[in-house]
Structure 1
Amino acid sequence: MGYEDMKPPIGRDTRLCMSLSGRPGNAGSRFHNCLYEILGLDYVYKSFSTQDLAAAIGGIRALNVRGCAISMPFKEAVIPLIDDLESSARAIDSVNTIVNDDGRLTGYNTDYVAVRQLLEKRIEKPVPFLLRGSGGMAKAVAAALRDAGFANGTIIARNKMAGQAIADQYGFCWQADLPPDSAPLLINVTPLGMEGKDRDALAFRAEQIAACSTAFDVVAQPVDTPFVRAARAARKSVISGGEVIVLQAVEQFILYTGVSPGADDIYEAARYAHGADVAARIAD
Structure 2
Amino acid sequence: MKKLFGVLGNPIGHSMSPVMHNDLFSFYNIDAHYLPFQVKEEDLQAAVKGLKAIGVGGFNITVPHKSDIIPFLDEVDELAASIGAVNTVVNEGGRLVGYNTDGPGFLKGLQGYFPTLVGKRILVIGAGGAARAIYYTLAKEKPCKVDIANRTIATASKLSEDCPYSISSRILSLKEAEENVGEYDLIIQTTMIGMSPKIDEQPLQLNNVNKQALVCDIIYNPLETKFLQAAIIKGATIQNGIEMFVFQGALAFEKWTGFFPDVQRMRDNVLKQLGGKTC
SS at match of 1:122: coil
Give the letter for the 1:44 counterpart: H
Q: How large is the RMSD of aligned CA atoms in angstroms?
A: 2.8
- Name which of 43, 48, 51 aligns with 2:32: 43
Instruction: Select 1:56's aligned residue among 31, 47, 57.
Output: 47
C-alpha distance in 2 between matches for 1:43 and 1:113:
25
* TM-aligned CA distance change 1:103 to 1:195, over 3 Å: farther
Asked if 1:186 is matched to 2:155, the reply is no
SS at 1:106 equivalent: strand
Q: In the TM superposition, what whole-angstrom CA distance separates every residue of 1:1-49 from its partner, at most 9, and x where no partner exists?
A: xxxxxxxxxxxx2222112345533422221111111111111112344
Correspondence 1:15 to 2:3: yes
For residues 199-218 of structure 1, the aligned pairs below 5 Å read 199-207=199-207, 213-218=213-218
Match of 1:88 in 2: 79
Give TM-score, length-normalised by structure 1. Answer: 0.79
* Aligned-partner SS, 2:66: coil
Alignment of structure 1 residues 203-242 onto 2, 5 Å? 203-207=203-207, 213-242=213-242
Distance 2:49 2:39 in 1: 12
Whether the aligned pair in 1 keeps the contact of 2:16 and 2:273 (CA below 8 Å) is no
Shift, 1:158, TM fit: 3.5
Structure 1 residue 250: deviation in Å? 1.0
Distance (whole Å) between structure 1 residues aligned to residue 16 and residue 208 of structure 2: 30
- Calculate percent identity across the aligned residue pairs: 26
Distance 1:192 1:122 in 2: 24
Distance 1:94 1:193 in 2: 24
Shift of 1:176: 4.4
**Whole-angstrom CA distance in 1 between matches of 2:191 and 2:10:** 14
Label 1:220 to 1:104 Cα distance change in 2 as closer, same or farther (>3 A).
farther
| SS in structure 2 at match of 1:247 | helix
Return closer, same or farther for 1:17/1:165 CA change in 2, 3 Å cut-off.
same
* SS class of match (2:4): strand
Counterparts of 2:63 and 2:208, CA distance in 1: 27
Q: Is the 8 A contact 1:30 1:269 kept in 2?
A: no
Q: Kindly report which structure 2 residues correspond to 1:120-131, keeping only aligned pairs within 5 A, or say none.
A: 120-123=111-114, 126-131=119-124
Whole-angstrom CA distance in 2 between matches of 1:78 and 1:159:
27
The aligned counterpart of 1:154 is: 147
SS at match of 1:205: coil
Look up the match of 1:28.
17
Return the offset for 1:141. Answer: 0.9
How do 1:71-150 and structure 2 match up within 5 A? 71-123=62-114, 126-150=119-143
Which digits, 9 at most, give the CA deviation of each residue in 1:168-191, with x for residues without a partner? 225322234342411422211112
For structure 2, the residue ranges without an aligned partner over 5 or more in a row are 275-279
1:270 to 254, 267, 271: 267
Match of 1:207, SS state, is: coil
Does structure 1 retain, via aligned residues, the 8 Å contact 2:211–2:235? no
Residue of structure 2 in register with 1:5 after alignment: none
Contact 1:210 1:231 in 2 (8 A): no
